[in-house]
Amino acid sequence: MSGAAKRSAAEAAVAAEVRSGMTVGLGSGSTAAFVVIAIGERLRDGRLRDVVGVPTSEATAVLARTHGIPLATLAERPRLAVCLDGADEIGPGLALTKGLGGALLREKVVAVAADRFVVVVDESKCVGRLGERAPLPVEVIRFAEPVCARLLAALGGDSTRRDGFTTDEGNVILDCRFDPIEDPDALATAISAIPGVAGHGLFVGMAAVAYVASATGVDVRVP
């Protein structure tokens, strides 16, 4: 999908979801970057005022500052009006996998801090079942990595450490391949119960709406 289509989805989402005076969670990744750019453009031309962003990664913070978006921490703004972010896969009921960019833990924290979680994707991310196209990233503390890998294998996940990568929290990522995930909610619960797991890329029952870009326009989907 072209950058123009992704930008169209981001602009549609920002136009519909972001209002002056809001504190907004700013996602990470290529499509979410267009959200940041669109908010910055609206602040500069006056369509938006007094919008403050809470970034989901250090990379997003740098991009937001470049485009003139004032930033705050969760300590300063613990409740957000809306969070706009991308996804690696979007399945039935707007269940998601996220985290190929490595920011899944902060992304989930910011998403749950928001009253409304909005997903912006292109149609290539749409799947019949999660796990069809992308591995499931699981963020683990270094000490627990061998145990986490063994217990993920017991759940059916073939995990590979993401070499040379450390998250903004100083953790490592295990990319887990599952035969397409039959029950995302049950798997999310099981992975969360593993000691040493800091976060995982299953975002189930969280998205309120998705703006999906295609060659013919932007489709708005709800669970």
| Structure confidence by residue, pLDDT tens digits, 127-138 | 999 999 999 999
Distance CA 130, CA 78 (A): 30
| 163: containing domain | 136-199
User: What CATH number did the domain enclosing 140 receive?
Assistant: 3.30.70.260
Residue of 11, 89, 107, 139 marked catalytic: 107
Alpha helices, DSSP H only, in 46-176? 58-66, 104-113, 145-154
Query: Are 69 and 177 in a shared domain?
Result: no
Please choose, from the candidates 173, 178, 189, 168, the residue with its C-alpha nearest in 3D space to the C-alpha of residue 140.
Answer: 173
Instruction: Name residues of the chain where pLDDT drops below 50.
Output: none
- Asked, for residue 222, whether it belongs to a domain, the answer is no
| Tokens linked to 102 | 């490595």
Query: Are 19 and 106 in a shared domain?
Result: yes
pLDDT at 2: 64
Handedness of CA 18, 20, 25, 31 (dihedral sign): positive
Residue 11 among the catalytic residues: no
Distance CA 5, CA 207 (A): 21
